[in-house]
Amino acid sequence: MQPLATLLQIYRQDPQPIYLQLAAQLTDLIRKGILRPEYRLPSTRALASGLAIHRKTVIQAYDELIAQGWLQTQVGNGTFVSRHLPELTPRPLVNSDVFDPAKQAGFSFQSTPHLDRPPLKAQARYHLDDGFPDARLAPVLDLSRAYRSQVLASNPYVRLGYNDPSGSRWLREELAAYLNATRGLRAEPENILIVRGTMMGVYLASTALLQPGDAVAIEEYSWSGARMNFLQAGAQLISVPVDAYGIDVDALERICQQRPLRMLYVTSHHQYPTTVPLRADRRMRLLALAQTYKFIVFEDDYDYDFHYESKPLFPLASADLGGMVLYSGSFTKTISPAFRVGYLVGPENVIQHLTKLRRVIDRQGDTLLENAMAELLHTGVIQRHIRKSLRIYRQRRDLFCDALQTELGSVVDFRKPEGGMSVWTRFDSSINLVRLAEKALQKELYLSNGTAHESVFRKENVARLGFASSTEEELMQCIRILKSVI
């Protein structure tokens, strides 16, 4: 009894019940081979006395371990470690400074450096971010009412049960009507797969449609989230130059002539990160190349709704007559990154194929949220929110660009973006962007240090400065801080 009592410790301040603490510690002693099969445990009364706890607590612990098969009882003879457990040799003590199983696995696995991407967290008071929406403008009251109505609606077995892995039928119907009216698509609900966001859409497409070694063309400057997904799928990435009119289609054609191309990832409306739109003649040639060389076009239209100088350009998918384009969009940039609702639009057989994979990794989306979003589309709430946000973001863009030119024109170079929610800004070569971002953060201003946008061919002192998520007063303060740091 006495040696066993010294191996057991009771923590009365621990939120875990004492009987579970005792059961866990006894199990650990059995696993380590300290308590061997057929070892006779002290009586419940003796162990309770030795640990200064109630006897019923020990009975609970023993009963728990008997039910799990760790212990067994012999009538009139006591409680023993189960004889059916394998014989274990006590392991020597391991220096916890050398090996901690909570921090380091005992098995090996291959590291994936291409997945090293720090999470985005809103911490600083002021921010010139990557181009996020202002969540303060989001129609949260309308959304909360719509969500609540879905929770309390009749027939909870249907509303709260399993749903179609391709997404809420209602949302797909509303989205089809909305996308057809605003983007010139010809989509039916069967052409739409609801996803958690563009990241999931790229993952599904790269996993289901690519084989290891397939060639994937991406823009020279491109979104790191897409890049990491293609690398994870084992693709070979080929960078295509980008200029003031978008992706260089001549360079793309030369690539196609040299080797088979499986997929092209492109941000045609507002090129990421430079924000430039793809010129009309290049759009036509790109679609013609896709049909000629039979490569998939993954069109990421991440912030279509926010175009200021004219009406938004119709996406490539609107003119796709060969079934070569997968069109991706999301409400992340429209409303808020917290609302994880996006969509993929494509040929029906491809959507069915991607749905099967989506079911494996994520049985279905958030049906309640999807139906709530469908209601907001049906009632026009989202459309009104977009019109309001478009007006506000245009004003913020104009003010920010004017202040940027006036206060920092001698050290920055940029072109006023026709659309989007950020300004692609080139800093004077004398400015260390990494150090600048660090010093700005010390003054409660977050901005990109530019490393995420370095080209594989060349390195330029450039960064995206997002203006949409800040008020005009906040933007002016950002400029003041930036100027003082520089």
**What is the reported pLDDT for 2?**
58
Q: Which residues of 342-352 are buried (b: 16+ CB within 10 A; e: fewer)?
A: bbbbbbeebbe
Domain with 167 in it: what CATH number? 3.40.640.10
Domain match, 350 and 408 both: no
Domain with 55 in it: what CATH number? 1.10.10.10
Whether the CB-CB separation of 442 and 449 falls below 8 Å is answered with no
**CA–CA separation, 72 and 82 (whole Å):** 5
**What is the reported pLDDT for 427?**
92
Q: Which of 330, 364, 383 is the last residue of a domain?
A: 383
Whether the CB-CB separation of 437 and 449 falls below 8 Å is answered with yes
Type of residue at 211: Q
**What is the reported pLDDT for 456?**
53
Number of domains in the chain: 3
**CA–CA separation, 122 and 131 (whole Å):** 13
Nearest to 474 by CA among 379, 387, 403: 403
Please list the residues that pair with 446 across neighbouring strands: 127
**CA–CA separation, 451 and 431 (whole Å):** 14
- Phi/psi for 419 (5° steps) reads -160, -175
- Phi/psi for 240 (5° steps) reads -115, 130
Type of residue at 136: R
Domain match, 379 and 393 both: no
Domain match, 231 and 366 both: yes
For residue 263 the two structure tokens come to 């997929």
- For residue 96, being part of any structural domain is answered with no
Domain match, 298 and 366 both: yes
Please list the residues that pair with 20 across neighbouring strands: none
- For residue 429, being part of any structural domain is answered with yes
Q: Which residues of the chain have pLDDT under 70?
A: 1-2, 88-99, 117-122, 154, 454-459
Nearest to 339 by CA among 130, 139, 121: 139
**What is the reported pLDDT for 130?**
86
Reduced to 3 states (helix: H, G, I; strand: E, B; else coil), residue 416 is coil
- For residue 375, being part of any structural domain is answered with yes
For 394-409, what is each residue's pLDDT tens digit?
A: 999 999 999 999 999 9
Domain match, 321 and 176 both: yes
Alpha carbon of residue 443 to chain centroid? 28
Reduced to 3 states (helix: H, G, I; strand: E, B; else coil), residue 269 is coil
Please list the residues that pair with 272 across neighbouring strands: none
Helix (H) or strand (E) holding 380, with range, is none
Q: Which residues of 386-419 are buried (b: 16+ CB within 10 A; e: fewer)?
A: beebbeebbebbebbbebbeebbeeebebeebbb
Write out the residue range of the structural domain in which residue 420 sits.
126-131+389-485
**CA–CA separation, 308 and 154 (whole Å):** 43
Whether the CB-CB separation of 135 and 389 falls below 8 Å is answered with no
Domain match, 379 and 394 both: no
Domain match, 219 and 316 both: yes
For residue 369 the two structure tokens come to 């949220």
- For residue 67, being part of any structural domain is answered with yes
Q: Provide the sign of the torsion angle of the four alpha carbons 473, 479, 483, 484, taken in this order.
A: positive
Domain match, 374 and 448 both: no
Domain match, 218 and 364 both: yes
Pairing of strands 325-330, 296-300: parallel
- For residue 91, being part of any structural domain is answered with no
* CB within 8 Å of 106: residues ≥ 6 apart: none
Nearest to 344 by CA among 242, 162, 208: 208
Q: Which of 357, 383, 409 is the last residue of a domain?
A: 383
- Residue 120 DSSP symbol: P
Domain match, 359 and 396 both: no
- Residue 475 DSSP symbol: H
- For residue 225, being part of any structural domain is answered with yes
* CB within 8 Å of 381: residues ≥ 6 apart: 139, 142, 143, 375
Q: Which of 356, 383, 410 is the last residue of a domain?
A: 383
- For residue 110, being part of any structural domain is answered with no
Domain with 428 in it: what CATH number? 3.90.1150.10
Domain match, 176 and 314 both: yes
Map tokens 């917290």 to a residue. Answer: 338
Domain match, 427 and 313 both: no
**CA–CA separation, 468 and 133 (whole Å):** 6
**CA–CA separation, 354 and 448 (whole Å):** 34
- For residue 120, being part of any structural domain is answered with no
